């Protein structure tokens, strides 16, 4: 997996100087999550969605179990290990609520045709990793709001059950606890700052108003950074004994918010930069394009022997339209004594294996195609089929390096 992302790391370095390697989330939405939380343990599928647990989750599970068990041990009817068993049960129900929250996002995303790569439980809760972003502000809003709505719905369900059904005091306490934890989960996620759901809601609103999703990300990221710093200050004051509000956990959450809000802001800047250019801007110089009217000898002498080492060449007709591709290795199948008589059309292969992009495709979309389909190059054509050349990862890096240098000069 890291190998696939090396190009993105290079690219972002060219654009922004030395950048933390997790910033490649800018180009492949949510992939940073899978990269960052390596060591995940796959435990099965949820409604066809791969379900993972990060090792950090077990620490939180143990901590919550001990906390709940200690509180439940105050009930005189619970003796022996029963408080700890119920504490473990309550902790599992808590994380089941977190999973339900992520499933809320996932089901709405699936309804929009978005692939859900995975759901992962980790130190700070849960993550639903989506294959792509929503296409419209409304769709983005619906995906973002779905999780908090599920949490608020669970709050109502647990509250009603605990209030209207005769239960033992410990079970009633557990249900009440779960109800208000879901309330807190729903309300906390509605804070209008990335990477929280509220930040994605704010992003969708700004996107709708401005017509630019990157402006929405930048705006919501700034709020996320503000709330991150606020949580850090609150947590630090609590640790120093200056305030009774907050805890060390608040401090950790603050760092989490601050870091990921910064990632989101950086990603928006990179996407905005790449969106200014099109495929036509970054076509590799001296792309391997040859006309169909060449003999094998002309092809070998003028384009292969002593030239740049291309393994394949694009072949066009007299009007410049793409006919197919020639593999240089195929020259070996024809005796050299016949090269002056045989046309390159003898070795022509179909272009079905080529990935074609239109010349007006944004560079951002080109990079997403290269990474999403794990390609090393794409072929650029005009709408009428005229072939213009190739785009390689190296040519993108070279182009961006030149552009950033010219802008800073």
Q: State mean pLDDT over 27-50.
A: 64
Parallel, antiparallel, or unpaired for β 289-291 and 312-316?
parallel
Give the pLDDT confidence score for residue 258 in this predicted structure.
87
Both tokens assigned to 387: 């072939």
Per-residue pLDDT band at 408 (split at 50, 70, 90)? low
Long-range Cβ contacts of 171-176 (<8 Å, 24+ apart) = 173/71, 173/72, 173/75, 174/68, 174/72, 174/86, 174/89, 174/90, 174/93
Lookup: tokens for 302: 């003028």
102, 139, 371, 392: the active-site residue:
102
Dump pLDDT digits (tens) for 294-346. Answer: 999 999 998 888 876 788 888 988 888 888 888 888 899 999 999 999 999 89
- Residue 152 or residue 20, greater confidence: 152
Show contacts of 377-380: CB within 8 Å, 24+ apart: 377/284, 378/279, 378/354, 379/314, 379/322, 379/351, 379/354, 379/355, 380/279, 380/280, 380/283, 380/356
Write down the domain spans for the chain: 2-275, 279-408
Residue 50 pLDDT = 92
Residue 54 region, left (φ>0) first, then alpha (ψ -120 to 50), else beta?
Answer: beta
Q: Give the residue-averaged pLDDT of 221-246.
A: 88
Choice between 353 and 361, residue whose per-residue pLDDT is larger = 361
Is it the case that residue 212 has pLDDT exceeding 50? yes
Instruction: Give the domain 279-408 fold.
Output: CBS-domain (3.10.580)
| Top mean-pLDDT range of 20-24, 173-177, 387-391 | 387-391
Establish whether 133 is a catalytic residue. Answer: no
For residues 171 and 85, the answer to whether their CB atoms sit within 8 Å is no
Percent of all residues in the chain with a pLDDT value above 90, rounded to a whole number: 26
**Per residue in 370-380, pLDDT tens?**
877 888 889 99
Higher pLDDT, 142 or 54: 142
Q: What is the mean pLDDT of residues 345-374?
A: 86
| pLDDT band with cut points at 50, 70 and 90 for residue 38 | low
Give backbone dihedrals phi and psi of 336, rounded to 5 degrees, phi first. Answer: -60, -25
Query: Which residues, including other chains, have CB under 8 Å from residue 319's CB and lie 6 or more apart?
Result: 386
Residue whose structure tokens are 């070998």: 300
Q: Is the pLDDT of residue 98 over 70?
A: yes
Tokens 């850090």, located at residue: 232
Question: What is the average pLDDT across 31-56?
Answer: 74
Mean pLDDT of the chain: 81
Model-level pTM? 0.70
């Amino acid at each position: 997996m890291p190998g696939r992302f090396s190009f993105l790391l290079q690219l972002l370095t060219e654009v922004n100087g030395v950048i933390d390697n997790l910033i490649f989330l800018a180009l492949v939405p949510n992939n940073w999550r899978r990269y960052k939380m390596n060591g995940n343990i796959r435990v099965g599928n949820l409604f066809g969605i791969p379900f993972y647990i990060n090792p950090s989750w077990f620490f939180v599970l143990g901590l919550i179990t001990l906390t709940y068990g200690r509180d439940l041990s105050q009930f005189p009817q619970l003796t022996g290990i029963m408080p700890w068993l119920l504490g473990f049960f309550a902790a599992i129900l808590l994380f089941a609520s977190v999973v339900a929250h992520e499933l809320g996002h996932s089901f709405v995303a699936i309804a929009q045709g978005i692939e859900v790569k995975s759901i992962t439980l980790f130190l700070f809760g849960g993550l639903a990793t989506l294959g792509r972003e929503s296409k419209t502000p409304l769709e983005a809003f619906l995906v973002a709001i779905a999780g908090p709505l599920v949490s608020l719905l669970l709050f109502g369900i647990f509250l009603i059950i605990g209030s209207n059904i005769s239960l033992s005091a410990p079970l009633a306490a557990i249900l009440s606890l779960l109800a208000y934890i879901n309330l807190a989960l729903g309300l906390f996620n509605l804070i209008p700052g990335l990477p929280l759901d509220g930040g994605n809601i704010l992003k969708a609103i700004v996107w709708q108003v401005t017509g630019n999703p990157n402006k929405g990300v930048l705006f919501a990221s700034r709020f996320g950074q503000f709330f991150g710093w606020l949580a850090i200050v609150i947590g630090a004051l609590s640790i120093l004994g200056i305030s009774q509000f907050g805890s060390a956990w608040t401090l950790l959450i603050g760092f989490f918010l601050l870091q990921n809000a910064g990632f989101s802001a950086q990603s928006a800047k990179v996407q905005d930069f790449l969106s200014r250019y099109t495929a036509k801007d970054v076509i590799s110089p001296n792309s391997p394009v040859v006309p169909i009217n060449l003999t094998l000898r002309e092809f070998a002498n003028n384009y292969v022997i002593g030239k740049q080492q291309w393994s394949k060449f694009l072949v066009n007709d007299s009007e410049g339209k793409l006919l197919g591709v020639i593999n240089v290795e195929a020259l070996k199948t024809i005796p050299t004594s016949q090269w002056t008589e045989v046309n390159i059309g003898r070795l022509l292969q179909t272009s079905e294996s080529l990935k074609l992009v239109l010349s007006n495709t944004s560079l951002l979309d080109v990079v997403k195609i290269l990474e999403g389909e794990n390609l090393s190059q794409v072929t650029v054509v005009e709408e009428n089929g005229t072939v213009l050349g190739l785009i390689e990862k190296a040519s993108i890096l070279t182009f961006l390096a030149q552009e950033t240098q010219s802008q800073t000069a």
